Each structure stands twice: as structure tokens, then as C-alpha cells.
Amino acid sequence: KNEVEQSPQNLTAQEGEFITINCSYSVGISALHWLQQHPGGGIVSLFMLSSGKKKHGRLIATINIQEKHSSLHITASHPRDSAVYICAVSYSGGGADGLTFGKGTHLIIQP
Amino acid sequence: DAMVIQNPRYQVTQFGKPVTLSCSQTLNHNVMYWYQQKSSQAPKLLFHYYDKDFNNEADTPDNFQSRRPNTSFCFLDIRSPGLGDAAMYLCATSRARGLLYEQYFGPGTRLTVT
């Protein structure tokens, strides 16, 4: 079964730093999702990508289909960005069949 | 605001005592999912409904059942909870955006089994 690998598992950085979280997968997908989960909270979808690059505010997500790799970048990081960031993929049906999740990256931004 | 609602947020049940978790949505999405997330682990898909069509993951225990009486509601029934079933249960919905399905998650129900 396809695995979704994320790195790093834990990341602590200072406010203002540029953050990169990586995700790799082993077989073809229909889409890759970046999700955010706050402690004790639900999950929020940040991006859904099938190719290229997307930007929303200080967040940027890229995907390289040939290399089966995606990155999530946070520019000018802020303590409120502290959360678990999860990479997930969907296979058939464009994602209607649900997601396969990576283990997440626990990000802490210190003031 | 349109959203995915889960009740209760916290549920305590006894070993072996049936429990039902509920999920409702005001998004009118045709697909609904149940995920199980154990402590420090990634969420794992249990099953999903595409409209009324039920799809069970191969490794979902028989102890877990689901019902979707209408578009808005979906229930997760655990017939005889064991200690290993303690987890966060996440409900999600999705609809097609072009060829892809974007997922919307509820806040989760944290289940404790005593």
C-alpha cells in the first residue's frame, strides 16, 4: 500500500523564519492535500493540489508529480502558525474515496 | 455558517457498552467519511458514503458500523467498544470541485473507553 512520508516530524523555529515541510509518496495519486490540525481541534484543509503551485496568504504549496514530492512553505512564520501540518493523498475518484494521511509535522513557532 | 457538526465532542463509554457518535452537515455534500485518529497517529479512514452507497475499508473492524439516514446525517456505531477503540473520531464531507474532492472536517469526537 502506498505510504505518505513527511519530514521533519517535529520542527521548532523562531518567529519570522521561512518554514518548509516536505511530503513524498510512492505511487500515482489524483490529488495531494495539505491540512492543518490544532491541538484538540479538527482538521482544516489548506490546499488541494494536482499539479503546480498554489498560494494563500503566507502559505505556499508546490507539487512535483514526476518526483512524487510536495512541499508546504510558510513565509514570515508567526506563533499562531503553530499546529500539526498533515500531508494526505487521494487515489481514485479524485478523492471521493477518502484520504491516506501522513503522520504529520508538529510545528512550533516561538516568539 | 455552513459546517460539519459532531456530537458529542467528548464521549465516555464503558468497555463493551455500545456507543453512537453523530455527524451532521449543512453543506449539502454528497460524500461523508468517518476517520479514526489514535493518539499521535495519522487519521485512518474507516468508511465512507457516496450518496447512499456505503464503502467499507477492508481493515475496518466488524465492531464498527455506520448509518446515513439522509444527506445531512451520518452515524458511527461501535457495537462493543474495547480499550483499543479509544480515539478521536473525525467526520468529514466532500463535494466535487472539478475532478477533485475537497474535504471538510468536523471538530471530532474524542472517545474514552473505561
Q: What is the pLDDT along chain A (111 residues), one digit of tens a residue?
A: 568 999 999 999 999 999 999 999 988 888 999 999 988 778 999 999 989 999 999 999 999 999 999 999 999 999 999 999 999 998 876 677 889 999 999 999 999
pLDDT > 70: what percent of chain B?
98
Would you state the pLDDT for residue B6?
Answer: 95
Would you state the pLDDT for residue B77?
Answer: 97
Q: What is the grid cell recorded at B58?
A: 477492508
Q: What is the grid cell recorded at B56?
A: 467499507
Q: Please, which pLDDT band fits residue B112 given cuts at 50, 70 and 90?
A: very high
Would you state the pLDDT for residue B101?
Answer: 86
Do A80 and A65 touch, CB atoms closer than 8 A? no
Shortest Cα distance from B6 to chain A (angstroms)? Answer: 10
Shortest Cα distance from B100 to chain A (angstroms)? Answer: 4
Would you state the pLDDT for residue B2?
Answer: 64
Would you state the pLDDT for residue A30?
Answer: 87
Q: Is the pLDDT of residue B14 over 60?
A: yes
**pLDDT per residue over B44-82, tens digit each?**
999 999 999 999 998 899 999 999 999 999 999 999 999
Measuring CA to CA, which residue among A61, A73, A62 is closest to residue A18? A73
Query: Shortest CB distance from B42 goes to which of A45, A90, A102?
Result: A102
Distance between CA A58 and CA B69 in Å, rounded?
41
Parallel, antiparallel or unpaired: strands A10-14 and A105-110: parallel
**CB neighbour class for B111 (10 Å; exposed up to 12, middle 13-18, buried from 19):** buried
C-alpha pair distances (Å), B9 with each of A40, B22, B89 = 10, 10, 10
Would you state the pLDDT for residue B1?
Answer: 66
Query: Shortest CB distance from A98 goes to which of B42, B45, B99?
Result: B45
Measuring CA to CA, which residue among B114, B90, B91 is closest to residue B38? B90
Do B86 and B35 touch, CB atoms closer than 8 A? no
Would you state the pLDDT for residue B40?
Answer: 84
Contact B105 A43 (CB under 8 A): yes
- Number of Cβ pairs < 8 A linking chain A and chain B: 67
C-alpha pair distances (Å), A91 with each of A65, A88, B35 = 13, 10, 17
- Mean predicted lDDT score pLDDT of chain B: 93
Instruction: Give B96's contacts (C-beta < 8 A, 6+ positions apart).
Output: A94, A96
